[in-house]
Structure 1
Amino acid sequence: MTNFFKDIPAISYVGPDSDKEFGFRHYNKDEVVLGKRLEDHLRFAIAWWHSFAWEGGDPFGGQTFERPWHPQDSMKTARIKADVAFEMFRILDVPFYCWHDADVRPETGNFADNLKTLNEITDYMLEKQVQTGVKLLWGTANLFSHRRWMAGASTNPDPEVFAFAAATVKSCLDATHKMGGENYVLWGGREGYETLLNTDMKQELDHMGRFLNMVVDYKHKIGFKGTILVEPKPQEPSKHQYDYDAATCFGFLQKYGLEKEVKLNLEQGHAILAGHSFEHEIATAAALGVFGSIDMNRNDYQSGWDTDQFPNNVPEVALAYYEVLRAGGFTTGGTNFDAKIRRQSIDPADLILAHMGAMDVCARGLKAAAALLESGEMEAARKERYAGWDTPAAKTMLGSSLDAIAADVLAKNIRPEPRSGRQERLENLWNRFV
């Protein structure tokens, strides 16, 4: 027990009619939906970086949070941060969490000391996992914050930076494996360019592809059974990042022979920055066979950048979970709250209530999506729209040739008439469930 969350009770299910401030109204982890407990459907995880490492700054101002583990420059404060983190996991009763190396250990400036402190703090965290039963959804390396990464990590024009990045990822994958992590994520925040005037794009992409192949090879060498995940994002901090969106990432994986080895960790805010919806990115990844996990958050639609706010829009969240369920649900992946409280929300209770509310929003969204999927109405309408392709003639046509098809159109005087897509009807159907 720590004193940081003093007087904040453990959060339990109180039901939709309760007026208690601290209580789940919609997330009952043992509720069975589509034959599975809600906890097993949603697989909630808390992000170490936004919840504990972030100090409340923004592009125009510095630290607003004053925490017992500030400044984050020693192993003593790293342990305090870990104590508080696991206390929060207990209060919210979440099954998973996620970390970057730079979140959990102090930055020493050299690899040997970073390795030592990472091993020390992850041993400490592993003890807490054993004590609490909380598990690691995924670990990752921060290859974007320190000034050494300003021109990229695996795509850096300096081979020494590439080497430092490789050593860092090895250390983080080793730690993730040691801690029983179910996935390992790579996010290329600086894997892109600011200007093409000084960029050899082909060489950078080739180096990035080689780097990821090294990661996969090492995963198999050490016997890590988790999933390797890549996280798409189009821009910010780089002008253009090579992992732009789900489709771009799949093309990259195919080019470098990794499409059967690597899946995607998709984030709502990143989807918006790419000009997509979250459900589009999930459906794309699922159609291409690379859906893995999600980072759940939202952007402010009046801002043009990645604000990483907690989700509060049930219909929007439900659309995402409908695609997750259609894809068969999570396997090793889950719902990580890559979200942060606002820099004015300085009370410890704000951190708890933000996650509590987001968990309720996700539960409502998933239950609405599950109810619609179980009704079969949306899928029946979809099947009806494509029913013509189930006929023998249509199947034969797909194995035919252009000249044979053209001859058939002439012989049968085929004159197709447009049919309604029924979008508004289906939107009305959707709204009945959300």
Structure 2
Amino acid sequence: MMTSFYSRKDPIRYEGPSSSSELAYRWYNPDQNVMGKSMRDHLRFAVAYWHTLCWPGGDPFGGDTFQRQWHHMADEMAAARMKADIMFETLVMLDVDFFCFHDLDIAPEGKSLKEFNANVTEIAKIFEKKMAATNKKLLWGTANMFSNRRFMAGAATNPDPDVFAYCAAQVKHCLDVTKDLDGANYVMWGGREGYETLLNTNIGHELEQAKRFLSMVVEYKHKIGFKGPILLEPKPQEPTKHQYDYDVATCYAMIASLGLQNDVKLNVEQNHAILAGHTFEHEIALASALGVFGSIDINRGDYQSGWDTDQFAMNIPEMSLAFLEILKAGGFTTGGLNFDAKIRRQSIDPDDLLHAHVGSIDACARGLLIAAKILEDGKLGKIVDDRYGKWNEPKNQAMLKGKETLDSIAARVHAEGLEPQPKSGRQERLENLINSYI
């Protein structure tokens, strides 16, 4: 294994809140029991291949700032093998169990899909050996169907059926590879599944394409015996103005229209929640309420920038509210926390990657501990339960379960002379209560 990328050679460990080390976990204690489960099993951290190793540090106004060796190698497969070495060095260094990738992250496209598939397979074989040697695992794989110019008008929703067919072939191979690597999930990320202008768009046709494509992926998942769920990732605004996978509610509408709630779950991201005009915790809570909570891309958006800044999550109060909803949802099964986050383009030292992950891992761990304390204390839960308590009365359960009609309810209201009086929502008191745990 290549070990010269980072200046540090020893894996990062838990040292406790009083540690003075810049590269130690103060709050993330993998073996600590939290509500009957280890912190490691609660959080299921994953390193993102693309931002960690593939992004060169560019933005719309400037190019490569990182100057990584593999970004400039003539032999693209040699560069791919080098990235594989560094990915597993990173996982070992951080004591993180999982990684995630797009097919294009791990191998070059080559001159044809056949060559691309062969390249991906070759690197996957390297992964197999490294996973066995280090006990690291794949949280999920996905296909990059947005970078190449062929996808400029979308992938599954492209008006050209040849692009649709190409995508089907690409996803088939990537799903095969993900299964071979015992991936826990497979993600459908619609990077360009949307439109820019109605003047050249048939929305109904494109939605039918999207639904058929998702159905085919689920059909193939069952054919090959892939046990994990297919994860849709809500993605608003970027890069197209009108994304068909805009938020949790939009994605659920498609899933439910196909009756695929048992096979398709959602991969929720903080940055995307903000771009959709929601809070992170709202999207998690809604996915849970609809029965499609799956996994998390953990990062942070800039509230002053209307684009995907993908910063590392460091906001502990926000993490606390997110983990409150994750724990209420029952926690992760096949999902986890993937660091879909990138260091800033001025953070050019390799060790900056370690500092970013360590800080965000600790922020997540603190959020988990605070959320667990809130739930175990029970004060917030009791207030919410009391607010809805009257629904437990038989006559109100009858309304909820369809045993009453509009006529019968109206008759009862008149007979009882109901005149409901407003009751305080006590928002400020509850915000104070949450701050008392933080």
The two structures have a TM-score, normalised by structure 1, of: 0.98
* Alpha-carbon contact 2:51-2:341 (below 8 Å) kept: yes
**Letter of the 2:426 counterpart:** R
* Alpha-carbon contact 2:12-2:23 (below 8 Å) kept: yes
**Letter of the 1:63 counterpart:** D
Q: Is 1:34 paired with 2:12?
A: no
Q: CA deviation at 1:8?
A: 4.7
Q: Is 1:264 paired with 2:266?
A: yes
* Alpha-carbon contact 2:28-2:39 (below 8 Å) kept: yes
Q: How does 1:27-426 map to 2 (within 5 A)?
A: 27-71=28-72, 74-398=76-400, 399-426=403-430
* Alpha-carbon contact 1:9-1:22 (below 8 Å) kept: no
Tell me the alpha carbon deviations over residues 254-275 of structure 1, each in whole angstroms, 9 at most, x when there is no partner: 1123222200000000000000
In 2, distance between residues paired with 1:240 and 1:321?
30
In 2, distance between residues paired with 1:89 and 1:68?
19
* Alpha-carbon contact 2:267-2:294 (below 8 Å) kept: yes
In 2, distance between residues paired with 1:110 and 1:179?
23
In 2, distance between residues paired with 1:255 and 1:396?
28
Three-state SS of the structure 2 residue aligned to 1:30 is: coil
Tell me the alpha carbon deviations over residues 159-187 of structure 1, each in whole angstroms, 9 at most, x when there is no partner: 11111101110110000000010000011
Q: CA deviation at 1:403?
A: 1.6
Three-state SS of the structure 2 residue aligned to 1:353 is: helix
| Range with greater deviation from structure 2 (303-312 or 71-80) | 71-80
In 1, distance between residues paired with 2:137 and 2:163?
32
Unaligned runs of 5+ in 2: none
* Alpha-carbon contact 1:231-1:264 (below 8 Å) kept: yes
Unaligned runs of 5+ in 1: none
**Letter of the 2:118 counterpart:** K
* Alpha-carbon contact 1:11-1:92 (below 8 Å) kept: yes
Please name the residue that 1:10 is paired with.
Answer: 11
Q: CA deviation at 1:377?
A: 1.1
In 1, distance between residues paired with 2:30 and 2:96?
10
Tell me the alpha carbon deviations over residues 383-413 of structure 1, each in whole angstroms, 9 at most, x when there is no partner: 0000111112212334211122112111111
* Alpha-carbon contact 1:8-1:349 (below 8 Å) kept: no
| Range with greater deviation from structure 2 (370-379 or 271-280) | 370-379
In 1, distance between residues paired with 2:307 and 2:168?
29
Three-state SS of the structure 1 residue aligned to 2:396 is: helix
Three-state SS of the structure 2 residue aligned to 1:70 is: helix
In 1, distance between residues paired with 2:63 and 2:78?
23
**Letter of the 1:45 counterpart:** A
**Letter of the 2:5 counterpart:** F
| Range with greater deviation from structure 2 (399-408 or 166-175) | 399-408
Three-state SS of the structure 1 residue aligned to 2:223 is: helix
Three-state SS of the structure 2 residue aligned to 1:98 is: strand
Q: Is 1:430 paired with 2:434?
A: yes
* Alpha-carbon contact 2:7-2:351 (below 8 Å) kept: no
**How many residue pairs end up in the alignment?**
434
Residue identity over aligned pairs, in percent, reads: 60
* Alpha-carbon contact 1:269-1:298 (below 8 Å) kept: yes
In 1, distance between residues paired with 2:298 and 2:154?
26
Three-state SS of the structure 2 residue aligned to 1:123 is: helix
